[in-house]
């Protein structure tokens, strides 16, 4: 059996999963591929760090040149994370004629252009299946399985931590801060959870999905990104009683005014496929013009699930080392025309914390009306006069720009005691 030598940049959570899969002599991979993948070198920071895998002596190194300058190494697998030095190492690997595989969504979303350009110039493959939704083969699903489709819309739960937090809040009536703290203590959430809970990680993955679906590169800062910090268990309860679940969704859609690219908490009607996705699981709902609706569901992170996606790329590249790849997108990329969130039109859930006094609701309704926003329903529980009370308003379709200027004026009202909560409603 032919052997192909590969190297890893990084041997942490994902890297160790890759080592395990590639060290499994009894894996069906070898018979299917008809070639053997041999790990020649693994770059780490600290040679003494204890690891869950055994590597032959001399395989671990702290010197990237042992990988980049070794012509026998054909495929470099980047699982170290961060923008630099990962980006520079991948560019050097491509420049030296190596194919690359990466799980690094932050790098691809924020600085992927030069990597794809270099790969196209050097006619090398870039595998990045693991960069979106971990173990779910969504990129191969889109680029191969759905190659004949115009993708009308893609929406997904692509951050497991945020979905876990919202699921726990929903199932146990807990508050955001308490669930986050418990998740951090149990190791489910990072010590710095900003990327996960503020939607940044989901936006990184959305940028990659948009590149595949629409052939354009959206400047990362043009993706409207809003996280889940402001969602309270009160909103989840109100949403539930109105027939909705709240999920952090990443949504892309082609419109006449450009590509919509947004990440934000979203109210979905009970019964929508994505409301069935609980805990840390991920799912991507795709609407193609030929296939109709498709749903991809699975583990969006974790050592072996993510390694499964990494190894699938390595195997595909090993199978067609010198052939062009369906994922070689650099030559097809065009600049993105992004439809700003201010032009979005849809229904809204609004919650206001007001001092319970006569006229508070009338003032809010008046300002919404002044901005062309009509109300479908209002809910205001009874409280003692003078106490803080929530007012929940559901609206008909309204324009985001109008909504934001109405909310600014409402927030300034003397009877409104906190920043209003807004959740966009999606039905498709």
Ligand X SMILES: NC(=O)c1ccc[n+]([C@@H]2O[C@H](COP(=O)([O-])OP(=O)(O)OC[C@H]3O[C@@H](n4cnc5c(N)ncnc54)[C@H](OP(=O)(O)O)[C@@H]3O)[C@@H](O)[C@H]2O)c1
Catalytic residue IDs: 205
Strand intervals (E) in 50-95: 60-61, 73-78
For ligand X, the closer CB: 136 or 274: 136
Number of residues that bind ligand X (CB under 6 A): 23
Structure tokens of 107?
Answer: 């790098």
Residue 115: C-alpha distances to residues 79, 111, 138 (Å): 15, 8, 21
User: Which position among 34, 85, 219, 381 is part of the footprint of ligand X (CB under 6 A)?
Assistant: 85
Q: Is 12 in the site for ligand X (CB under 6 A)?
A: yes
- Nearest approach, Cβ of 93 to ligand X (angstroms)? 14
- Which of 213, 301, 393, 403 touches ligand X (CB under 6 A)? 301
**CA atoms within a 13 Å half-sphere pointing along the CA-CB vector of 365:** 14
- Interface residue with ligand X among 114, 141, 145, 302 (CB under 6 A) is 302
Whole-number minimum distance, CB 208 to ligand X, in Å?
11
SS3 46: coil
Cα–Cα distance measured from residue 417 to residue 191, given in angstroms and rounded to the nearest whole number = 32
DSSP letter for each residue of 27-96: -HHHHHHSEEEEEEEEE-S-TTS--SS---TT-EES-THHHHT-TTEEEEEE-S-SSTTHHHHHHHHHHT
Q: How far apart are CA 105 and CA 80, in angstroms?
A: 11
From the list 4, 14, 139, 267, which residue makes contact with ligand X (rule: CB under 6 A)?
Answer: 14
Residue nearest to ligand X according to CB distances in the complex: 12
* Closest distance to ligand X from the beta carbon of 48 (Å): 9
Minimum Å gap between C-beta 51 and ligand X is 7
In terms of CB distance, is 119 or 132 closer to ligand X?
132
Q: Rule CB under 6 A: which of 22-51 touch ligand X? A: 43-46, 49
The reply on whether position 94 binds ligand X by CB under 6 A is no
Among residues 302, 291, 289, 213, the alpha carbon closest in space to that of 250 is found at: 213
Q: Closest separation between CB of residue 18 and ligand X, Å?
A: 9
**Site track for ligand X across 96-125, x = CB under 6 A:** -------xxx--------------------
Binding mask 133-162 for ligand X (x = CB under 6 A): -x----------------------------
Q: Does 306 bind ligand X (CB under 6 A)?
A: yes
Considering only the stretches 19-27, 74-82, 279-287, 420-428, report the one whose residues sit in contact with ligand X under the rule CB under 6 A: 74-82
Least Å from the CB of residue 325 to ligand X: 20
Is position 279 an interface residue for ligand X (rule: CB under 6 A)?
no
**Length of the chain measured in residues:** 428
Considering the complex, state which of residue 45 and residue 427 has its C-beta at the smaller distance from ligand X.
Answer: 45
Among residues 312, 287, 309, 310, the alpha carbon closest in space to that of 298 is found at 309
Under the criterion CB under 6 A, does residue 81 sit at the interface with ligand X? yes
Quick one: which segment of 4-12, 226-234, 334-342, 417-425 binds ligand X (CB under 6 A)?
4-12
What is the token pair recorded at 149?
Answer: 């489709």
Q: How many CA atoms lie within 13 A of 226 on its CB side?
A: 14
How many whole angstroms from its chain centre is CA 337?
A: 21
* Closest among 90, 253, 241, 265 to 165, alpha carbons compared: 265
* E-state strands within 165-314: 216-217, 224-225, 244-255, 258-269, 281-288, 292-299
The C-alpha atoms of residue 68 and residue 7 are separated, in whole angstroms, by 9
Of residues 10 and 420, the one with the C-beta less far from ligand X: 10
Q: Please report how close the Cβ of residue 126 comes to ligand X at its closest, in angstroms.
A: 14
DSSP letter (8 states) at residue 63: -
Q: Does 93 bind ligand X (CB under 6 A)?
A: no
Cα separation, 405 vs 303, whole angstroms: 45
- What does the block give as tokens for 157? 């739960």
Q: Which member of 19, 130, 206, 263 binds ligand X (CB under 6 A)? A: 130
Can you tell me whether residue 307 is helix, strand or coil? helix
Q: Interface residues with ligand X (CB under 6 A)?
A: 10-15, 43-46, 49, 79-81, 85, 103-105, 130, 134, 301-302, 306
């Amino acid at each position: 059996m032919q052997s192909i030598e590969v190297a890893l940049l990084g041997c942490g959570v994902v890297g160790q999963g890759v080592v395990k899969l590639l060290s499994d002599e009894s894996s069906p991979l070898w018979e299917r591929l008809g070639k053997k993948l041999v790990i020649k070198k693994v770059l780490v920071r600290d040679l003494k760090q204890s690891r869950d895998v055994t590597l032959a002596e001399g395989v671990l190194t702290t010197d990237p040149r042992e990988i980049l300058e070794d012509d026998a190494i054909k495929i470099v697998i980047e699982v170290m994370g961060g923008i630099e030095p990962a980006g520079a190492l991948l560019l050097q690997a491509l420049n030296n004629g190596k194919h690359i595989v990466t799980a690094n969504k932050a790098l691809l979303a924020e600085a992927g252009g030069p990597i794809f350009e270099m790969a196209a110039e050097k006619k090398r493959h870039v595998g990045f299946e693991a960069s979106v939704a971990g173990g779910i083969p969504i990129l191969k699903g889109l680029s191969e399985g759905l190659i004949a489709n115009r993708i009308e819309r893609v929406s997904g739960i692509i951050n497991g931590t945020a979905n876990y937090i919202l699921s726990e809040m929903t199932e146990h009536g807990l508050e955001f801060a308490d669930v986050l703290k418990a998740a951090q203590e149990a190791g489910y959430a990072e010590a710095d959870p900003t990327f996960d809970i503020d939607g940044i990680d989901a936006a990184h993955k959305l940028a990659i999905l948009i590149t595949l679906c629409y052939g354009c590169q959206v400047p990362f800062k043009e993706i409207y990104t809003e996280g889940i910090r402001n969602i309270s268990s009160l909103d989840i309860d109100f949403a539930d009683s109105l027939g909705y679940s709240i999920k952090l969704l990443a949504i892309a859609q082609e419109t006449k005014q450009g590509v919509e690219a947004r990440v934000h908490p979203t109210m979905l009607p009970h019964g929508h496929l994505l409301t069935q996705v609980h805990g840390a699981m991920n799912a991507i709902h795709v609407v193609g013009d030929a296939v109709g609706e498709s749903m991809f569901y699975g583990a969006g992170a974790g050592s072996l699930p993510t390694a499964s996606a990494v190894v699938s790329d390595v195997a595909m590249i090993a199978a067609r080392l010198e052939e062009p790849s369906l994922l070689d997108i650099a030559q097809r990329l065009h600049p993105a025309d992004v439809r700003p969130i201010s032009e979005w039109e849809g229904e809204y859930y609004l919650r206001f914390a007001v001092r319970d006094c006569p006229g508070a609701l009338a003032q809010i309704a008046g300002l919404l009306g002044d901005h062309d926003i009509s109300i479908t329903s209002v809910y205001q529980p009874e409280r003692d006069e003078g106490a803080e009370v929530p007012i929940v308003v559901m609206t008909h379709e309204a324009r985001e720009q109008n909504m934001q200027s109405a909310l600014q004026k409402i927030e300034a009202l003397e009877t409104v005691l906190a920043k209003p909560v807004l959740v966009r409603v999606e039905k498709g």
